[in-house]
Amino acid sequence: MRAIPRGTVRISGAQARAALATLAGRPPVRAPVAAFEAATAAFLGPRHAIAVGSGKAALALVLSALRCRPGDGVVLASFGVPEVPSLVRGMGLAPRFADVDRDTLGLSPDAAAEAAGGGAAVVLATHLYGNPADLDRLGDVADRAGASLVEDLAQALGARWRGMRVGSVGRAGILSFGHMKNLTALGGGMAVTSDDDLADRMRRGVADLPVPGATGVLAALATAGAFRVATRPPAFDAAFPLLRAVEAASPALLYGLAKMRPPEWETGSLDPRAVLTRMHPAQAACGLAGLDGVDADAAVRARNATRLRGALAGVEDLLWQEPLPRAEPAWTQVVVRVRDREGLKRRLLAHGVDTTWGYLRACHAMPGMPAPAARCPESDAAERENLYIPAGPDLSDRDVDRVAEAVRAAVR
């Protein structure tokens, strides 16, 4: 019986070949960056897409183009990626933390309204784990505060809100194409908007940025390929006994390695100059070659999530992330909250199922961060209790059923 990995890198042979051909000076399309921008804009719906080297670079580009002034407030969910508020603070802006909704784990509109009291420049709506935030109510919060609604769809490419793709609702949206995202471009990112003036300012901002070196792109491709091989049979089956031993001896070791980010990004202030780069043409070629598969992947993720939840209906002590009625999630991750998270993780390993709690944090508690306007108990609980359950598009129906059986047996 094969072991089930926590996840894998979704990179196809066509993507790898496109990146390698571009690095060798033979790109499969003319001007890969412009082609990827045009294809992404057409896929999502906004008129403009501006490619950069990472999702963090996309956020920095948007905040700069919005002409945020020093000290302006950026309302954002406390539970999230640590480098986002660190980057906000590093740009001289003021993170205004708000709690997440208990069920959706998205930015709570009520908490956001309180955090935006007195005005703010930006309301950042993160579609966490691919589950759309309440864009209707958050848009109202932004309007009342005189703020711009910016969507963070780093984990939600392919998700929809009221039938529209996320990223097309707010004034701007940011994407990340890291290794574990719905679409990998070997670390690239993108900003999207239908605001012509904002797009023009972003293009001017990108023009003088450096392009990452080919060596770094090749290393990212090698890393993606290695992860892909290592998390599929037979390699993962062979390595699983070692994984169990390491997890038993030092759970923090694998957690630290899996974050794949410098620890200084979590210290409370990230200089935007450290992340602002353009997108390499090989990254663009890789992303372009995979874009057509995003919807098919999202459909399999949704089917697997529905199958898993159906099989575990009625199991006590599991609090699932819930979508809103108007949302069509992409389910980049399927997450439950459970009080005995570490115990459940250990017992699932004994049943051949690898899990993780990821790297997101209750960021209001990070060193140097301003205190939130109100307590953030749901963010605190999510950091303590969230556990990712395998349900990705590489899993068959039989695999999903095995995961469900393991969870049912492991919950005590």
pLDDT at 171 over 70: yes
pLDDT band of 245, cuts 50, 70, 90: confident
Q: What is the mean pLDDT of the chain?
A: 94
Instruction: Dump pLDDT digits (tens) for 331-348.
Output: 999 999 999 999 999 999
Asked whether the beta carbons of 99 and 375 are under 8 A apart, the reply is yes
So what's the pLDDT on residue 118?
A: 84
Structural domain boundaries enclosing 319:
1-412
Could you give the number of structural domains in the chain? 1
Instruction: Dump pLDDT digits (tens) for 50-83.
Output: 999 999 999 999 999 999 999 999 999 999 999 9
Instruction: Dump pLDDT digits (tens) for 275-323.
Output: 999 999 999 999 999 999 999 999 999 999 999 999 999 998 899 999 9
User: Within a 13 Å sphere around the CA of 175, how many CA atoms are in the beta-carbon half?
Assistant: 35
Q: Please report, for the domain that includes residue 98, its CATH number.
A: 3.40.640.10
What global pTM score does this model have? 0.95
Asked whether the beta carbons of 39 and 45 are under 8 A apart, the reply is no
Taking alpha carbons only, the member of 115, 117, 119 closest to residue 95 is: 115
CA distance 88 to 78: 13
How many percent of the chain have pLDDT more than 70? 96
Where would I find the beta strands (DSSP E) of 194-329?
319-320, 327-328
So what's the pLDDT on residue 125?
A: 98
Task: Say which residue the tokens 């399309």 belong to.
Answer: 29
